[in-house]
Amino acid sequence: MKTLKHIAKAMAGGSLLAAAAVAPQAHAHKNHDHGGGAASRMQQLEDQLRLLKRELADLKAHQEGHHQQMMELEEWKQQAGVEIGAHPKHDNLLFFRGGYARLMTDRGKDVLPSPNSSAAKGQNGFYIGAGFEHNLSHDIFGLTEGTMLDGTDLLGEVMFEYKRFAQGNSLLTDSDQGVVVTQLAPNKAPETSTVTQFTISAAPKIRFLRDSIIRPWIIPVGFAVHVVSPPSDGVTVFNPGLMFGAGAEVNLWKNFYAGADFRYHVTPGSESSLSGVEDTDTDGLTAGGYIGFGF
């Protein structure tokens, strides 16, 4: 029995010794595992930080590239005369005109209409017309860049207008007697004739103060062709000439404009080789207003 007790005691002591020997190793192994997990997590955090820094650097580079592109676009648009975020300046215009017209010399010398008729003596009338202008240069091909005239545009204008001056008796009647004086149609009733002109013109136009609400302009000289009615004594209707003009327009709302202008037409006399109308002076002027639509 004593022997068994000694054996049990020996086994218990061995177990205690084994446990005491194994415990430090297990604790060390546990500590080793805990330290390895922390190091792994730290490595992951460092990797994520490096990735985040790389993404931030890429984003910054992208923003710098985008900013550079915007600067280049803004510079290009400014050179083209359009500011970013601003309303278009409506460099081109479609317009409709109307107002007062006057012949500087009446047609009393012409056979058509009759020299004694009211049509021959009429010099005052009205005109209606339309046209469009197209921008050719924002600085007159560099002449006004950096000067006090910066903001001056050069445009090309094409226009047509109809002018009516007076109406009266024609060649077939004697206005004093009211009877037919020609033998071609002795029973024909008195006829009337109307003095009119149809003008087609093309001209350069210089317009100032591009960014202003009010934009004045001038036409230094332009080319015009007048079609007269009744025909001249030479039985021709075409007469070329020169045109000068000045005016101003106001931007009323969005692309809607209103303006006023004055134009003077000069045509060569019958002695000139350029004149197409025999003994008929078509010099005249117009003064009126217009409405336009910018585009």
Which string of DSSP letters, residue by residue, matches 20-31? HHHHHHHHHHHH
**Token duo for residue 74:** 């803004």
Token pair 């000067």 is at which residue? Answer: 147
**Token duo for residue 265:** 């037409």
- Contact (CB, 8 A) for 228 and 280: yes
Outline where DSSP puts E strands in the chain: 93-103, 124-137, 153-169, 192-207, 214-229, 238-253, 256-266, 284-294
* pTM higher than 0.85: no
Instruction: Give pLDDT, residue 130.
Output: 98
- Contact (CB, 8 A) for 257 and 92: no
What lies within 8 Å, CB to CB, of 100 at 6+ separation is 124, 125, 126, 127, 286, 287, 288
Distance CA 170, CA 113 (A): 5
In angstroms, the Cα distances linking 171 to 109, 117, 164, 181, 206 are: 12, 9, 19, 8, 45
Amino acid found at 60: K
pLDDT, averaged across the chain: 77
When pLDDT is averaged across residues 37-60 and rounded to a whole number, the result is 85
Confidence of residue 154 (pLDDT cuts 50, 70, 90): very high
DSSP for 264-279, please give it.
EEE---TTSTT--STT
* Interval 51-74: pLDDT, tens: 888 888 888 888 887 888 888 877
When pLDDT is averaged across residues 256-263 and rounded to a whole number, the result is 97
Highest mean pLDDT among 34-43, 54-63, 84-93, 147-156: 147-156
* Interval 80-129: pLDDT, tens: 554 444 444 678 999 999 999 999 887 766 666 655 555 556 789 999 99
